[in-house]
Amino acid sequence: MPQTPLFADNLPPLFLDLLGDDFEILPWDVSSHSTSLSRAEAIITYGHPRVDGALLDRMPNVRVVSNHGVGVDHIDVAAANARNIPVGNTPGCLDGATADLTFALILATARNVVIGDHFARSAEFTVYEPSLLIGKEVNGATLGIVGLGRIGKQVAKRGRAFDMKILYHNRQRDLAAEVEFDAEYRSLDGLLAESDFVALNCPLTSETTNLISTAQFATMKRSAILVNMARGGVVDTDALYEALSTGRICGAGIDVTQPEPLPRNHPLLRLQNLVITPHLGSASDRTRRRMIEMTIDNLRAGLVGLPLPNRVN
């Protein structure tokens, strides 16, 4: 059988293995002389390349766009729908892994894990000193969750295991979640003012772009820690640097940045009260395999005209 031409960026070996021999992988080449664009019948976005209406207009044979991940801020879904091209994503399977890393960043930032690791390996550590690197208590603290969706609820579940007081902010109240997690609804400013830890787990939209900026940092406790597991654009990068470098907030743990990655000389990278990971939210073995499987399920359904198992509306 002939192979289906598939436009995809930097797929890892496991992805290629699970795709099998049904597809011809075309290089992600959007230059004016590219032959991939006219030949491709489907798109997989693996590393968040931009897919917009202008690109789709150069790809007349594409029948489906399948995204590896939940967030689709790099895909113009409205433009795809206008061209009758369904867009799929992978919700649900990565909630636990992303919530795990949210708490890893909470703990690492609060308890000086990274600084402590570096010091413990250094020549300076020759005598145990009980007053060294006193951190913030996580147990019993107040956790404010911005975006109590699938991932946010998993974060709340973990927060309850640490006997934390759970606050949340959504566009709409979630009464069932309030009961399940003993969570209290707050306005954004109210949540920021009360929380010892602020966890961002919301999608990046026009409404959430730079949601946390100078005014919001001014509302937070000076002892507070911000954790961003959403998208880099949810936080104003310049305002984050100012808040951390001046002590406006105590610290931050971030898995995402704007831009991503940051330039290697960016001043944020020199701050000791910042813990940063390279977008590892869903990067666990079981989760990544399931994400690949769901991406392929959406791809195959779209190619034969069936409803996508997980379509973005």
Mean pLDDT value across residues 181-210: 97
Of 173, 180, 260, 286, which is the active-site residue? 260
Q: Phi and psi at residue 42, in whole multiples of 5°?
A: -155, 160
Domains 4-92+286-303 and 95-276 share a fold: yes
Q: What is d(CA 278, CA 13) in angstroms, rounded to the nearest whole number?
A: 20
Concerning whether 260 is annotated as a catalytic residue, the answer is yes
Of 169, 231, 288, 300, which is the active-site residue? 231
Q: What is d(CA 150, CA 142) in angstroms, rounded to the nearest whole number?
A: 20
Residue 256 to residues 47, 261, 285, Cα–Cα distance (Å): 13, 8, 20
Mean pLDDT value across residues 98-117: 98
| Residues linked to residue 253 through DSSP beta bridges, in sequence order | 227, 275
Q: Phi and psi at residue 253, in whole multiples of 5°?
A: -125, 120
Strands (E), the chain: 4-8, 23-26, 42-45, 65-67, 87-88, 142-146, 165-169, 183-185, 197-200, 225-228, 251-254, 274-276
Q: pLDDT grade, residue 179 (50/70/90)?
A: very high
**H or E stretch including 23?**
strand 23-26
Query: CB of 232 within 8 A of CB of 212?
Result: no
So what's the pLDDT on residue 147? 98
So what's the pLDDT on residue 230? 97
Q: Which burial class, exposed, middle or buried, applies to 234 when counting CB atoms under 10 A from its CB (0-12, 13-18, 19+)?
A: buried
Superfamily of domain 4-92+286-303: NAD(P)-binding Rossmann-like Domain (3.40.50.720)
So what's the pLDDT on residue 19? 97
The chain-wide mean pLDDT, for the chain, equals: 97
**Pairing mode, strands 197-200 and 274-276:** unpaired
Q: Which burial class, exposed, middle or buried, applies to 113 when counting CB atoms under 10 A from its CB (0-12, 13-18, 19+)?
A: middle
Contacts of 207 (CB under 8 A, 6+ apart): none
Cis peptide before 91 (omega within 30 of 0): no
User: Collapsing DSSP states into helix, strand and coil, what is residue 305?
Assistant: coil
Q: What is d(CA 195, CA 165) in angstroms, rounded to the nearest whole number?
A: 9
Mean pLDDT value across residues 235-240: 98
Kindly report the pTM of this predicted structure: 0.91
Q: Give the closest residue to 256 by CA, choosing from 240, 245, 271, 272.
A: 240
Q: pLDDT grade, residue 2 (50/70/90)?
A: confident
> Which residue do the tokens 């969750």 mark?
145
Of 48, 68, 169, 279, which is the active-site residue? 279
CATH topology (fold) of 95-276: Rossmann fold (3.40.50)
Residue 1 in this model has a pLDDT that exceeds 80? no
So what's the pLDDT on residue 238? 98
Structure tokens at 193: 């003012």
Q: pLDDT grade, residue 268 (50/70/90)?
A: very high
**% of the chain at pLDDT higher than 90:** 99
Concerning whether 118 is annotated as a catalytic residue, the answer is no
* Euclidean distance between the first and the last CA atom of the chain, given in angstroms as a whole number: 33
Concerning whether 24 is annotated as a catalytic residue, the answer is no
C-alpha torsion sign, points 224, 230, 235, 238: positive
Domain boundaries, the chain: 4-92+286-303, 95-276
